[in-house]
Amino acid sequence: MADVLVFHHAQGQTPGFLAFADALRAEGHTVHTPDLYGGESFPTLDEGMAKARSIGFDTLLEEGVAAADGLPGDVVYAGFSLGVMAAQRLAQTRPGARAAILLDSAIPLGEFAPDWPAGVPVQVHGGEADEFFMDEGDVDAARAIVAAAGDGELFTYPGCGHLFTDASTAAYDAEAAGLVQQRVLEFLARV
């Protein structure tokens, strides 16, 4: 079983985000879900992004990284969209990272470290109808990360939009979300 640190997306710790974390717990993993919004969550992405901007992206990143303090080094870092910032930075820079799971986003190599760390597997998931993932460079960053990792997987899901794995968002796709959950659990079982 793995220690998994999962970072929420811009809408906060929504019921769908928490359900995803609980599904990992139900399989025996120890799952940490730091709340970078102090208990607030938002019904729309626009409202969530307004909250993120009011806090500041750099502040959210630093608070996310600090959430790993006190955890063992052998952690799987996971993030949804906005949460990918902290998850990816920790996976690339914190010694002993076990693996990374990036959902709905990927940040170009070089942003946090010049390369992907040797021996750290990665799994990336994105919707093919997600304008952020497909049209703003995230899918290209994901391809580069997977290639650099050596042990990496990129999965895209036809017809799925941004945050399609979160049952509390408008883009939720139950079938694709179930496949993501299955693939994540299989990944955690082998890392």
**What pLDDT, in 10s, does the model give residues 65-118?**
999 999 998 999 999 999 999 999 999 999 999 999 999 999 999 999 999 999
Question: Which pLDDT band holds residue 183 (cuts at 50, 70, 90)?
Answer: very high
Q: Within the chain, where are the H helices?
A: 15-26, 45-55, 57-66, 84-93, 131-135, 138-149, 174-190
Distance, in Å, from the CA atom of 111 to the CA atom of 85, rounded to the nearest integer, reads 10
Give which of 187, 129, 178 is closest to 154, Cα–Cα: 187
The number of domains in the chain is 1
Average pLDDT over residues 138-160: 97
| Helix (H) or strand (E) run with residue 79 in it | strand 75-80
Average pLDDT over residues 7-23: 98
Sequence-distant (6+) residues with CB within 8 A of 88 are: 77, 79, 100, 102, 106, 107, 111, 112
pLDDT at 59: 97
pLDDT at 162: 97
- The residue type found at 95 is P
Q: Domain holding 65: CATH number? A: 3.40.50.1820
Sequence-distant (6+) residues with CB within 8 A of 69 are: none
Which residues span the domain enclosing 57? 3-190
Q: How many CA atoms lie within 13 A of 76 on its CB side?
A: 25
Question: Which pLDDT band holds residue 179 (cuts at 50, 70, 90)?
Answer: very high
**What pLDDT, in 10s, does the model give residues 17-29?**
999 999 999 999 9
